[in-house]
Amino acid sequence: MPVKKVKEWIKVLAPKAFEEKEIGKLLVSEEKNSIGRRIIVNALELVNNPNKYYLNFFFRVFKIENGVAYTEFDGFECTRDYISRMVLHKVKRMDLVQDIPTKDGVKLRVKSLLVAQKGIGEKCKKLMKKKAAEMILDFVQNSTVRDFLSKIMNDELKSRIFQELRKIYPLRYFEIRKVEVLR
């Protein structure tokens, strides 16, 4: 008769950038099987900021010790309903995708979204995308992942880029809609 494996609950902690806050529990039969598992946490629960309800953070378990799973940042994305509220009728959507290494050597894929009025010309569109790409590249290359996350959470990067792009053409929204860690 086969022996039934006993499953146990282990605590999952967020990375140091989020003060190693407990973000949930995992039910595991063997600890080694849960290494590499991806955990999704809403920013509302993670940082207690109701203004960031639309962000979902991804963490990957990389180590388990004494019934505690330690995670590392694996990316974040905006919810689909938040994006669809920005991209309505009579607007022009522009997407930007960049692979950028951070100061601490982590390579990130940053996906941005620009929303402007429908009548925007090709010249303005190219200029806005180029300016946004330069600003994001400069910012990510000169910061660590921890700095990058803190600037995302307090909207410093978003507001700085938004103000610069408005000088070129009236912009409705600018958002970093998704960030992935490339391994």
What CATH number does residue 84 fall under? 3.30.479.30
User: According to the model, what pLDDT value does residue 168 have?
Assistant: 93
User: According to the model, what pLDDT value does residue 1 have?
Assistant: 64
What's the average pLDDT block by block, 10 residues per block, for the chain (183 residues)? 81 93 92 91 90 95 94 96 92 96 96 94 95 96 94 92 94 96 93
Which whole-number Å values give the CA distances from 18 to 23, 73, 82, 152, 181, in the listed order? 10, 10, 23, 13, 17
> DSSP state, 50?
G
Structural domain for 17, as ranges? 8-78
Which whole-number Å values give the CA distances from 67 to 7, 29, 108, in the listed order? 12, 12, 30
- Determine how β-strand 68-78 pairs with β-strand 8-13: parallel
Query: Could you tell me if 168 and 90 lie in one domain?
Result: yes
Query: Could you tell me if 89 and 152 lie in one domain?
Result: yes
Domain end: 19, 49, 78, which one? 78
Domain end: 51, 78, 105, which one? 78
Determine, yes or no, domain membership for 2: no
Query: Could you tell me if 114 and 141 lie in one domain?
Result: yes
Query: Could you tell me if 90 and 177 lie in one domain?
Result: yes
Determine, yes or no, domain membership for 159: yes
User: According to the model, what pLDDT value does residue 31 have?
Assistant: 83
Determine, yes or no, domain membership for 3: no
Using an 8 Å Cβ cutoff, are 101 and 107 in contact? yes
Query: How many C-beta neighbours within 10 Å does residue 136 have?
Result: 19
Query: Could you tell me if 59 and 19 lie in one domain?
Result: yes
List all residues 6 or more positions away from 140 whose beta carbon is below 8 Å from its beta carbon.
Answer: 100, 101, 102, 108, 110, 148
List all residues 6 or more positions away from 85 whose beta carbon is below 8 Å from its beta carbon.
Answer: none
Query: Could you tell me if 69 and 125 lie in one domain?
Result: no
